[in-house]
Amino acid sequence: MRIGVVTFPGSLDDGDARRAVRLAGGEPVALWHADADLHGVDAVVLPGGFSYGDYLRCGAIARFAPVMGSVVEAAGKGLPVLGICNGFQILCEAHLLPGALIRNDVRRFVCKDQRLRVESTSTVWTADYAEGQEITIPLKNGEGGFVASERVLDELEGEGRVVARYLEGNPNGSYRDIAGIASADGRIVGLMPHPEHAVEELTGPGTDGAPFFTSVLKALVSA
Amino acid sequence: MARVVVDVMLKPEILDPQGKAIAGALPRLGFEGVTSVRQGKRFELEVEGELTPERLAAVEEAARTLLSNPVIEDYVVHADSPLEAGA
Judge: domain A2-222, CATH 3.40.50.880.
yes
pLDDT at residue number B81: 67
A104 touches chain B (CB under 8 A): yes
Per residue in A65-81, pLDDT tens?
999 999 999 999 999 99
Residue type, B38: R
Residue A102 contacts B, CB cutoff 8 Å: yes
| Cβ separation B14–A103 shorter than 8 A | no
3-state secondary structure A82-120: EEECHHHHHHHHCCCCCCEEECCCCCCCEEEEEEEEECC
Domain range for residue B69? 2-13+40-79
Cβ-Cβ contacts under 8 Å, B72 against chain A? 100, 102, 147
Confidence of residue B85 (pLDDT cuts 50, 70, 90): low
Specify the number of domains making up chain B.
Answer: 1
Which CATH number characterizes residue B48's domain? 3.30.1280.10
Specify whether A85 is catalytic. yes
User: With 60 as the cut, is the pLDDT of residue B79 above it?
Assistant: yes
Please judge whether B17 and A107 are an interchain contact, meaning their C-beta atoms are less than 8 angstroms apart.
yes
Which of B67, B72, B75 to probe by mutation at the A interface, max A CB count within 10 Å?
B72
Residue B87 pLDDT grade (very low, low, confident, very high; cuts 50, 70, 90): very low
- Residue B43's nearest CA partner among B30, B29, B60 is B60
pTM of the predicted structure, to 2 decimals: 0.94
Nearest CA in chain A to B42: A56
Q: Does B20 touch chain A (CB under 8 A)?
A: yes
- Closest Cα in chain B to A63: B66
pLDDT attached to residue A222:
85
Q: Give yes or no for A64 touching B (CB within 8 A).
A: yes
Closest CA to A44 of A55, A164, A121, A76: A76
Print pLDDT tens along chain A (223 aa).
999 999 999 999 999 999 999 999 999 999 999 999 999 999 999 999 999 999 999 999 999 999 999 999 999 999 999 999 999 999 999 999 999 999 999 999 999 999 999 999 999 999 999 999 999 999 999 999 999 999 999 999 999 999 999 999 999 999 999 999 999 999 999 999 999 999 999 999 999 999 999 999 999 988 7
Residues of chain A with Cβ-Cβ distance to B71 below 8 Å are 92, 98-100, 147-149
- Predicted interface score ipTM higher than 0.90: no
Q: Which band of pLDDT confidence, cut at 50, 70 and 90, is reported for residue B86?
A: very low
Q: Average pLDDT, stretch B20-44?
A: 95
- Whether A102 and B15 lie within 8 Å, measured CB to CB: yes
- ∠ CA B11-A139-A161, nearest 5°, is 60
Confidence label for B11 from pLDDT (cuts 50, 70 and 90): very high
Is B62 among the domain residues? yes
**What Cα–Cα distance (Å) separates residue A154 from each residue in A128, A158, A221?**
26, 6, 33
- How far is the C-alpha of A143 from the C-alpha of A124, rounded, in Å? 26
With CB atoms and an 8 Å threshold, state whether B69 touches A98. Answer: no
Nearest Cα to A205, choosing from A139, A147, A144?
A139
**Domain definitions of chain A by residue range:** 2-222
Nearest Cα of chain B lies from the Cα of A99 at a distance, in angstroms, of 6
**Which residues are bridge partners to A44 per DSSP?**
A4, A81
